[in-house]
């Protein structure tokens, strides 16, 4: 099932390192080429010789050899390995290593390799219950998830300390199944394609401290960018104000106003194959922007009149100038939802439109979404509640299909 797949297995310090021996053996039996990297702490639990025997490959522990008197071939081995791998798995992933990865610390061979890899990374955390539930560890795991790393959640049970709780590394069979499912579902169908994704809100300033904005968190756009990168695309993410971390292998450009987003998107438009406009761009902006803060005492009336003008319609502009690009838009409607979304699809000359649903677990701020994807040929697919990452892949499936149809016509 994993024939020809190149997998790096990272092992960190923890009693569950012995389980990783079974993981390596299982991956090898399925046909994978496995190379093991250990932290110095991991060697206190299992010897490098054990993993070398199981994997049939050299095991690396230290960045530099103990002695260089007779020369060394270490060179930039972490870079060479980073380019070699289809997948990296760290099991067990200790609290210490999770913290280092979350904050970009590269103080050993394994963490240096993590910074260099271009392939997806799966982590299987393992630690005592209080360490796992500690808010710092949970924050670090949240950072890694936002960056696009995949987490095999630990299990509950008796721990090495004698305590009972969550923190046990997933069993080898579960880890192997996770890897198999990953390769079964992974698609590199967008390799060589350039995709531009917009995300988040735009802020239209009234004065230096006030603005017109909306509730968009940017989560949908960031998940689309992450999924696009996972499928091999070169991704540019143009985002309004948000506190989300940049997904791995994604080029991020931050903007604030709708005008700024318009300028960046237009700049790159002719260089990309796909534009997915998931940003909630403001429809209106103040006609007058005050250079100083407006104070109550400077406004004698009880009511204040703020005059607005329409912002540039980025989607319409792109649709009018479209050449061979695939253009995807989003719609958020409160009435006549399907009719309005289909009309927008036609008016903006889109290839696909994604109709968002506002409700419990769907819309702004949620990690899940309920959408209907409508194509210009009239095909319509209503999806159940899914994570935004899953929705992103459904959208990309449609994009990939358009590419395939275009290639068939050629």
What pTM was estimated for this model as a whole? 0.78
Catalytically annotated residues: 214
Does residue 6 have a pLDDT over 70?
yes
- pLDDT bin (cut points 50, 70, 90) of residue 70 is low
Per the annotation, binding residues for CTP are: 283, 293, 330, 344, 348
Compute the distance between CA of residue 11 and CA of residue 46 in angstroms, rounded to an integer: 9
Q: What is the pLDDT of residues 380-397, one digit of tens each?
A: 999 999 989 889 999 999
- pLDDT bin (cut points 50, 70, 90) of residue 89 is very high
Highest CATH level, class, for 194-409: alpha beta
Residues 345-364, mean pLDDT to the nearest whole number: 86
Q: What percent of the chain has pLDDT over 70?
A: 95
Residues 311-331, mean pLDDT to the nearest whole number: 96
- pLDDT bin (cut points 50, 70, 90) of residue 232 is confident
Q: What is the pLDDT of residues 169-194, one digit of tens each?
A: 999 999 999 999 888 877 788 989 99
- pLDDT bin (cut points 50, 70, 90) of residue 317 is very high
Mean pLDDT of the chain: 91
String of b and e for 25-64 (b: at least 16 CB within 10 Å)? bbbbebebbbbbbbbebbbebbebebbeebbeeebbbebe
pLDDT in the model for residue 67: 59
pLDDT in the model for residue 222: 95
Q: Environment class of residue 370 by beta-carbon count within 10 Å: exposed (0-12), middle (13-18) or buried (19+)?
A: buried
- pLDDT bin (cut points 50, 70, 90) of residue 297 is confident
| CATH code matching the domain that covers 6-67+74-185, chosen among 3.40.640.10, 3.40.50.1950, 1.10.3720.10, 3.40.630.30 | 3.40.50.1950
Compute the distance between CA of residue 257 and CA of residue 13 in angstroms, rounded to an integer: 47
pLDDT in the model for residue 362: 67
Does residue 410 have a pLDDT over 70?
no
Residues 308-331, mean pLDDT to the nearest whole number: 96
- pLDDT bin (cut points 50, 70, 90) of residue 267 is very high
pLDDT in the model for residue 363: 67
Domain ranges of the chain: 6-67+74-185, 194-409
Compute the distance between CA of residue 71 and CA of residue 63 in angstroms, rounded to an integer: 15
Q: What is the pLDDT of residues 98-134, one digit of tens each?
A: 999 999 999 999 999 999 998 889 999 999 999 999 9
Compute the distance between CA of residue 101 and CA of residue 118 in angstroms, rounded to an integer: 14
Residue 122 makes CB contacts below 8 A (sequence gap 6+) with: 87, 88, 89, 90, 149, 150, 151, 152, 178, 179, 182
Nearest residue to 276 (alpha-carbon basis) of 372, 216, 353, 379: 353
Compute the distance between CA of residue 27 and CA of residue 69 in angstroms, rounded to an integer: 37
Does residue 12 have a pLDDT over 80?
yes
Residues 361-388, mean pLDDT to the nearest whole number: 88
Q: What is the pLDDT of residues 22-54, one digit of tens each?
A: 999 999 999 999 999 999 999 999 999 999 999
Can you name the residues that pair with 405 across neighbouring β-strands?
A: none
- 194-409 has the same fold as 6-67+74-185: yes
Residues in the chain: 410
**How many other CB atoms are found less than 10 A from the CB of residue 132?**
21
């Amino acid at each position: 099932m994993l024939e020809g797949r190149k997998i790096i297995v990272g092992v960190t310090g923890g009693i569950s390192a012995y389980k990783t021996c079974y993981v390596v053996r299982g991956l090898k039996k399925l046909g994978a080429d496995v190379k093991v990297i250990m932290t110095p702490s991991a060697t206190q639990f299992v010897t490098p010789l054990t993993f070398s025997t199981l994997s049939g490959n050299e095991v690396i522990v230290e960045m530099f050899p103990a002695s260089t008197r007779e020369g060394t071939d270490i060179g930039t081995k972490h870079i060479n390995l980073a380019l070699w791998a289809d997948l990296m798995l760290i099991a067990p992933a200790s609290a210490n290593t999770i913290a280092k990865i979350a904050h970009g610390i590269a103080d050993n061979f394994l963490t240096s390799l993590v910074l260099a890899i271009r392939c997806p990374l799966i982590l299987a955390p393992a630690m005592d219950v209080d360490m796992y539930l500690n808010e710092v560890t949970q924050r670090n795991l949240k950072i890694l998830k936002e960056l696009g790393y995949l987490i095999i959640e630990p299990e509950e049970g008796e721990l090495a300390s004698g305590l009972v709780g969550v923190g046990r590394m997933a069993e080898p069979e579960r880890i192997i199944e996770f890897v198999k499912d990953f390769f079964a579902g992974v698609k590199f169908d967008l390799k060589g394609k350039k995709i531009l994704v917009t995300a988040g809100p735009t802020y239209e300033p009234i004065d230096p401290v006030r603005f017109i904005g909306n509730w968009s968190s940017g989560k949908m756009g960031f998940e689309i960018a992450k999924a696009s990168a996972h499928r091999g695309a070169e991704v540019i993410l143009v985002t309004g104000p948000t506190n989300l971390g940049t997904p791995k292998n994604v080029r991020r450009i931050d903007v604030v106003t709708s005008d700024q987003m318009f300028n960046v998107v237009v700049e790159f438009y002719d260089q990309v194959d796909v534009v997915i406009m998931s940003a909630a761009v403001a429809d209106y902006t103040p006609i007058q922007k005050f250079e100083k803060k407006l104070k109550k005492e400077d406004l004698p009336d009880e009511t204040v009149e703020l005059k607005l003008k329409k912002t540039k319609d980025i989607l319409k502009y792109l649709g009018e100038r479209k050449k061979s690009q695939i253009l995807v838009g989003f719609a958020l409607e409160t009435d006549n939802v399907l009719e309005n979304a289909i009309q927008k699809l036609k008016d903006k000359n889109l290839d696909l439109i994604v109709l968002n649903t506002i409700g419990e677990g769907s819309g702004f701020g949620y990690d899940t979404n309920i959408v209907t994807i409508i194509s210009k040929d009239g095909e319509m697919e209503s999806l159940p509640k899914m994570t935004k990452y899953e929705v992103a892949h459904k959208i990309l499936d449609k994009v990939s299909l358009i590419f395939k149809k275009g290639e068939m016509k050629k």
